[in-house]
Structure 1
Amino acid sequence: MPFAVDRRDIEDTVVVAVRGELDIGTAPDLRVALMEAIERQPDGRIIADLEGLEFIDSAGLGILIGGRKRAQAGGGDLVLVSTGRNVAKILELTGLMRVFDVYSSVSDAREAARPD
């Protein structure tokens, strides 16, 4: 599957969906998409939808961590959607499951952001 990054706005949330393999060659594309999303919603919630991701390496993880730090610096946040075994295993092994809020769907991530 070729690598692709798509961004869509759902009300006050920006969703950045990633498909294919996220590695040192494709990570810069994700970085650009995340920075654009954060600029668009500097104090909002950005959702990185990793459901279409088949593989992620340390470069990809670094982009996600950097994106989260940048979002939080502006008063926002970056959360993940991931249920795929390969990606979940990497997030677990690296301890990032404890760092990021990880949801099973975009709708679950959006719902969690709503005030009670």
Structure 2
Amino acid sequence: MQIAAEKYDRGRFRVLAVSGEVDVYSAPSLKGLLVDVIDSTSASRGQDGSETPTNGVVLDLSGVPFMDSAGLGVLVGAQRRAHGAGLALRLAGGSAQLHRLLAMTGLVKVLPPFADVAAATA
């Protein structure tokens, strides 16, 4: 199954809204999308950091009904990449299944999910 994505800016954050199931087959596509968004956001910052058009990236998962461990691996890698670029990575929305998975794995401590994009960008 393929995933669909839309990129847009909201306040000082770049939002990547994803829809579709994220599993072992679609996780590489999500990884590519996140790498592109994080790298382009990082590259648009001023060298001294003062001209920062964005504080980070919000991954809107409200259209993702299911995510497996391959998807979690992508989230961990994206969080590391964003942190290394001096950006925040925030999760918005997501299914109850995803929230349970984040809690069970302890990832909720480093990637706490926000209720929606508005909360994540506040």
TM range (shorter): 0.7 to 0.9
1:23-57 deviation per Cα after TM superposition (whole angstroms, max 9, x unaligned): 11101111111111112211631001111111111
Q: How far, CA to CA, are the matches of 2:7 and 2:29 in structure 1? A: 12
Q: How far, CA to CA, are the matches of 1:24 and 1:62 in structure 2? A: 10
Bigger Rg, structure 1 or 2: 2
Structure 1 segments of 4+ aligned residues over 6 angstroms from their partners: none
TM-score (norm 1): 0.86
Sequence identity (%)? 34
TM-score (norm 2): 0.82
Which residue of structure 1 aligns with residue 7 of structure 2? 7
1:8-35 deviation per Cα after TM superposition (whole angstroms, max 9, x unaligned): 2224311111212101110111111111
Structure 2: where are the runs of 5+ without partners?
A: 46-54
Distance 1:13 1:109, change over 3 A: same
Structure 1: where are the runs of 5+ without partners?
A: 112-116
Q: How many residues are paired up?
A: 111
Pairs within 5 Å for 1:30-109:
30-42=30-42, 44-109=55-120
1:110 aligns to 2:100 (yes or no)? no
**Aligned residues: CA RMSD:** 1.7
